[in-house]
Each structure stands twice: as structure tokens, then as C-alpha cells.
Amino acid sequence: MKYLVILCLFFFSFTASEPIHVFLIGDSTMADKVSADFPETGWGMPFASFFNEAVEVQNHAYNGRSTKSFRREGRWAKVFNQIKKGDYVLIQFGHNDAKVSDTSRYAPAQTDFRENLIRYVRETRSKGGIPVLLTPTQRRKFDSIGVFVDQHADYPAVVREVAKAEKVLLIDIEKESKKYIAAEGPEGAKKMFLHYPAGIFKKFSKGVADDTHFSPFGAKKIASLVAEGILASNEHLRSFLQKSAFSQKYVFELPNVATTAFKKDTFNIVSYGAVSSASKLNTSAIQQTIDIAAKQGGGVVRVPAGFFVTGAITLRSHINFHLDAGAVLQFSADAAQYPLVRTNWEGVDAIRAQSPITAIGERNIAITGSGIIDGNGEAWRPVKKGKLTPGEWDKLVRSGGVLDDKKDTWYPTERALKGSKMDQPGVIAAGFNEAKAEEIKEFLRPNMISLRECEQILLEGVTFQNSPAWNVHPLLCKHLTVENITVKNPWFAQNGDGIDIESCEYVSVRNSRFDVGDDGICLKSGKDAEGRKRGRPSAHITIENCVVFHGHGGVVVGSEMSGGVHDLFVSNCQFLGTDVGLRFKTARGRGGVVENIYIQDISMKNISGEAILFDMYYQGKDPVATFGNGGETPKIESKPVDAGTPQFKNIFVDRVVAKGAETGLLVRGLPEMPIHHIYLSNLDIEAKQTYRVIEASDIQLTNANFTQTGDKKPELINVKHWKLNAQ
């Protein structure tokens, strides 16, 4: 008998406990949908993914149901019979209770609706379950001047009153969804709901404009609001919310990026007069194709295999600009094809040559395919003699162009050379207008892809190369997806950045490769006073599974970050031969706060400068010349804190391996504003100097292994609360 008891105890100790059940009851905004309904999505569908395996979510919500019909049809009985002690029931009704003309569903707010909610709450408790009341989600409704219109009458108030009287957890989705929808405005809020033109989805083949039911993005947004309410509560359920790969964050807290969707109608540029040729200019034919497609509600503008020369073109809303495999879109070397425009350069308003591809204020746009976009950057870029071999330099000089007075920098034209000698060339605040800018036009080289104030953007599959200045520049954009692109520039390309994400929110950069002449993947938010006045941070950004082969930095924040950068998530990236690995740079005068940065699983090799760099003395110079080769050291002096004082704080870096660097870790703050609360863990870094930390506080290194290969000893200068735990 004794052994039987022991055996039973052993068996039951290893038997998995039954999961906590979370039952969802409500209407179509919560309900599961079948695949044929796509893209319609109930918020209960993504909600289950926000919990770990100890929770089982059962979604019993059903289209068109009210508190009255859900019970009358026996749907509540099915849930009630399953409830066990400790299970949760999330209750959300209201949309269909208000349908006065339908007696099977109508439940007046102050009488039947109230009584029904109370019954659901008390019956849940009678089984030992835990009820949670949710106010109904808001619809997208605005008046003629863009003011949000509430359509819920008394129903949300009644839910709040019942929750208070019955002492039930309330998750006020009506309040939170109203706040979000109103902030997004009439156009921005459309991405929450089913707003699609004809010809995209089978169920909505004639198009749909539904302001009640959710898109996949909208459903996830509402589900996240519910999870946020649970986390903020004292309920036991909060302990089962699923942590993300970033241990400091839950899954529901990661950025939610709205995607694009396009009509299948295809417009081939050849059908509108484009010709594959080494010399024929196809600007008019390509732009005409884009404009005609846009007027017909959008679709795919196709660039077939071939070599197509063009000047500057402009994308329109609902256009997927698609390059087939074998397609090369070659931008002309003729500066006349790129008129001067008022835009933004390095964080300030400036006059520049128009970008080869531009989109301003457009929605639902894409550049996709397997082709190549070439910016003909050699027609614009200056080149430093020291960056070329003697043979390459001689060949470049013989090709034309002009040299500066020192004969060590080549410029493509006299106008480009003239611009190099000016103070703040092209900057509007410095007095430049179009006439004055024309005198230095080639110096005012454009970024190749300029996307400004656009929303729901997709860049996928294409190779972007040989840009005049930066390759890809999204500015003041929202909901950008970058997937599987290749970005290339010569290693000597001045300002030849890969992608510069400036003052953008909700961005995903995945599975992409960068081999460039300046920063690889860069986050910015405006420069100095202009950037602070703009006040638009770069935020809610995910970068994962990317490789940077060459560049001044792998993943870079700054130096123009005056609007701030926050909620950046970087994982599974490799930097192979970059000057600096993880590079955070700023300077006095910038202002702005960089915070809530989460980085993990980074591999580096052959880093010329610093593997990890936090620097508040950025000088706008080649980082290797400045630091790696013993360049000048800035004077450390304290100055008063003001609006131009930048901050780096609350940065988490985990699991970094670096094979070969000049310095493993460099932290260099300001006396008046030390870099603070930096947490680095699980480091394995080989460097000539392991670390150098100046003007910093609360720097914590856990499980950090440094291998020193040079003579320079580690340095700590004016550092408070330094903690280093080696392996």
C-alpha cells in the first residue's frame, strides 16, 4: 500500500495541470472568421497568441449576436457548462443590442442590456469563474469637418456601471479605441477597418467600405488593447501573458505594422511606350503608366525584363511598382531630369534635386519584384582620392569632372565643386532659394528613393543600388514594411547610406542585405532646433534577420535624432566588415531622447572601430579615422543642460559576439548629461581595447567576456554605478 501511494504521488506530480480557459463571448467584432472571409478578422483571433501554453482561449463570439440572442440561441449554455473555477469569461456586447428594428436582438441599454450583463457576470461567478466586462469597440465615424462621432449611445456607460456595481474588471475598449481612431483621423483610421477597392479579395470583389469590422491590423490593435488592460489589472490571468523574444516585453507590446493590398490589374510600361534601350528616355511612358493605373483605382505597374532609362518619377496611392526578374530601371545621368524641389536633407528643410523615385502623402504603395533600381550615383557623387587605388583615381580623373584646390577630391561638375565651398548649401534657413540652388545643382544630390508622409508602404525583393546620396529615405511615414531587399553602394560612396528611417513609426525591416558606403540601417528624427520643433520620433521599429557587409555602421541611431528614437527592437543581425557595429551617435545641440532600445543576437566580424558605440561627440567624420586610428579626442567640458542636450538611456543589449574590433565598447557621454542605464549581457567580444567608458552612470554588464588583443587597457573615467560581471 505504501508503494502504491508513492507511485500515485509520483504520477500526479508529473501530470500537466489543466489549462486556464478564457472564454470569449460577444459579436462579430470579436468572432473567429473562416479563410473565405479574409481579410475580415475578429480581435479574438490574434488574442490567443498573446498567452503562453498554460491558457486555452475559446472564442464563442458569433456574428450579429447581442446579449439577448447569444443566450436565446443556446450559445451561453455551451460556455456555461464548461466553466470551471479559475476560468475567465470576457464579455463584450453592445453593437447588436442597439438594433431597435430586430426584436430578436434588441435589448434596451438601461433595462434588458443591463440585466443581461448582470446575469452573465453572476452566472459566471456561480461556477467559480471570473467575469471580465469589455465596452464595445468604436466604429469609424467622423462628421464633415473630421470630428469623431460617437455612435454607442448609453451602452458603454451601462457596461461601466455594471462593472463597478458588480466589482468586475472593466476593460474600457470603447474609450481606448475612440482615442486611437480619433487620433488617426478619417483617413488614417481606415486601416483599422475593411476599406479596400474592388478586385483584391474574393469575398469583397466589388470593394468594401465597412467601418465596424476589422482588418488584420485593426483586430490585432484591439486585441492588444485588451491584453494591455489585463496586464494593468490585478487578475491572475496577467501572469500568463506571453513574453516576447525580448525578455523585457510581452508579445502584444511589439510593433503592429499595417500591410498593403493591391488590385491584381496589371499595367505594363511597354504597353504605354516604354522601350528597353541603353539611351531612350522613358520618363513620360513610365509616369503615364503610373498615372493611368492610379486613375483606375490602382494595381500593378509592371517593369518587364529589360533595360529602361528614365528620369525622376512619382508614385501614386494604391500602386505596386513591380520589377520583374531581369528588369533594370536605370536613372539618367542628366541632372536636367531632376528638377530642384523643396524637401528635407539631413534633418533640415532644404532645396535638393528631385529624387529619382518620389512619393509624397501617398497611401498603400509598394516597390516589389526581383529587378534592379540603379540611381547612376557616379554622375553626382564626389570621390576622395584616398578611397581609391592610384589606378582607379587616374581613371576617374581622365573621365572628366574637376578637382578641388588640394587635388584630393573629385567632383563631377564645376557646380558640384562650387557647392562644396559654401556654408549650408541648399539649406532654406541659410537663405537658399531655387535660383541660388541652381548654381550648385549637382552638389545638391538627391536621395534615390524618397517617401515622405506616406502610409502603408511595402519595399520587397528589389535591389536598390548606386544612389546619388542615401539609397532609401522614408521620412514622416507610418506603417512601412521592408522585406528581403538588397541595398548596394560602392564602399567609398559619400553619404551612401543604405536605408535612413527618419521620423517614422511602425516599421518592419526584415531579411535584407546592405553593402554600402555609409551607415547601413539608420534611424533618424530631424536635426537640432528644426528636429525638435517637428517633434516626430522614430518609434515602434523592428529590425531582424539583416546583414550589413560594409558601411560606417551596422544598425545606427543618429546623429540627427532631435525628435527622439524609442521602442526599437533589433535581433538576429550580422555586421561583417563595418566600421562600427551598433552605433549610437549624437552631439550637443541635437537634443532628443533615445530610449527603450532592445537589441539581441548580434554577430560581428572585422569591425574597424567600435563593436558597440554610444557617443555624444559625433563630429561628422569617418568613424575609423576619428576613433579607430587614434584621431583627435574632443575636449570634455561641462555646459548647462538645455533643449539641445541629448540623452541616451534605457538601452538593453543581449547576446553579442564580435570577432575582431578596435574597441569592444565605447561609451562617451557629456559631463552635464551622462549616458545612463545601459544594460549589456552575454557579450563575447574580441578587441584591441576591451572597453572605454567616459561620463556615464548605471552601466551594467552581465556575463561579459572580453578578449583583449592590443596594448590599451580598459578605461573608466567619471563613471558612476559601473557593474561588470564576467563569465
Q: How far apart are CA 606 and CA 614, in angstroms?
A: 19
312's grid cell:
525622376
552 is catalytic: yes
Integer CA distances (angstroms), 706 to 50, 654, 664, 668, 686, in order: 37, 14, 8, 19, 6
Contact, 138 vs 174, CB < 8 A?
yes
222's grid cell:
484591439
Contact, 456 vs 259, CB < 8 A?
yes
Q: What is the three-class DSSP state of 227?
A: helix
Q: How far apart are CA 385 and CA 467, in angstroms?
A: 20
Integer CA distances (angstroms), 559 to 30, 626, 691, in order: 44, 15, 22
In 559-592 the beta strands, taken as DSSP E runs, fall at 565-576, 582-585
518 is catalytic: yes
| Rounded-to-5 percentages of helix, strand, coil across the chain | 25, 40, 40
Q: What is the three-class DSSP state of 83?
A: coil
613's grid cell:
558605440
- What is the DSSP annotation of 337-392? GS-EEEEEETTEEEEEEPPSEEEES-EEEEEEES-EEE--GGGT--EEGGGS-HHH
Check the CA dihedral 28-201-486-445 and report its sign.
negative
638's grid cell:
561641462
User: How are beta strands 327-331 and 383-384 bridged, if at all?
Assistant: unpaired
Q: Which residue has the cell 528581403?
A: 484
Give 72's contacts (C-beta < 8 A, 6+ positions apart).
104
Q: How far apart are CA 202 and CA 36, in angstroms?
A: 8
Q: How far apart are CA 481 and CA 712, in angstroms?
A: 43
> Residue 457 pairs with which residues in a beta bridge?
365, 480
Q: How far apart are CA 76 and CA 502, in angstroms?
A: 50
Contact, 558 vs 529, CB < 8 A?
no
460's grid cell:
520587397
Q: How far apart are CA 525 and CA 646, in angstroms?
A: 13
- What is the DSSP annotation of 595-618? EEEEEEEEEEEEEEEEEEEEES--
Catalytic residue among 195, 479, 552, 676: 552
DSSP 82: T
- Within 10 A of 346 (CB to CB), how many other CB atoms are there? 17
Catalytic residue among 97, 497, 518, 622: 518
Which residues are marked as active site? Answer: 518, 552
